[in-house]
């Protein structure tokens, strides 16, 4: 009886150690496993993508390019909403304007788009050395025009121009501040 009792006891101990070891190994594997990947929530979007690039061309030349970290496309509304956006507008001589924005919206029929920043203003760097700052910007592709109803600051060549609203034409490189215009020279 004592031999049988010893075998049962040793068998129980070994079984208990095996269960305990299995519990430890499974717990370790679970704690080191990557978290499950949740599918993105697209709400009403027809498509969602990471690394979105949208280009407008004319006569084989790129006129502008919008790149976004993330985008959601709504086919029925002909829109793409964008997050972490970079825009490059090109003129005849190459790159004319470059800017970054927090978010944006492209009309995929008209190729018009809007860009917005929630905090710091959008910084528009022009090839001629001027910089425009504004919290939002609208591009009308048919007119090749940028526009904003928001406060705007233009800096460059020793001047700072502030006001509300702006209209600019890329081809002519003419920009007009619409209201409450103040000009300050840095040489004063």
pLDDT of residue 72 exceeding 80:
yes
Query: For position 17, what pLDDT does the model report?
Result: 63
pTM across the whole model: 0.68
Beta-strand runs (E) in the chain: 47-58, 61-74, 79-91, 94-107, 113-116, 122-126, 131-134, 136-140, 145-156, 159-169, 174-185
Superfamily of structural domain 47-185: Lipopolysaccharide (LPS) transport protein A like domain (2.60.450.10)
CB-hemisphere CA count at 13 Å for 129? 5
Model confidence band, residue 38 (pLDDT cutoffs 50, 70, 90): very low
Sequence ranges of the domains in the chain = 1-37, 47-185
Report the pLDDT averaged over residues 86-90: 84
Q: What is the mean pLDDT of residues 4-25?
A: 67
């Amino acid at each position: 009886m004592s031999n049988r009792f010893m075998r049962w006891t040793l068998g129980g101990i070994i079984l208990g150690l095996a269960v305990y070891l299995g519990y430890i190994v499974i717990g370790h594997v679970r704690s080191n496993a990557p978290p499950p990947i949740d599918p993105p929530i697209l709400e009403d979007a027809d498509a969602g993508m990471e690394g979105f690039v949208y280009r407008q061309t004319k006569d084989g030349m790129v006129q502008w390019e919008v790149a976004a970290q993330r985008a959601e496309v709504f086919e029925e509304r002909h829109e793409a909403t964008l997050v972490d956006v970079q825009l490059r507008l090109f003129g005849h001589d190459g790159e004319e304007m470059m800017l970054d924005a927090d978010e944006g919206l492209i009309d995929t029929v008209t190729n018009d788009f809007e860009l917005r920043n929630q905090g710091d203003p959008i910084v528009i760097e022009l090839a001629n050395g001027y910089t425009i700052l504004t919290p939002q910007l609208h591009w009308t592709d048919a007119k090749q025009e940028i526009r904003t109803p928001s406060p705007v600051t233009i800096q460059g060549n020793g001047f700072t121009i502030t006001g509300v609203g702006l209209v600019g034409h890329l081809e002519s490189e003419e920009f007009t501040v619409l209201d409450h215009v103040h000009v300050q020279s840095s040489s004063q």
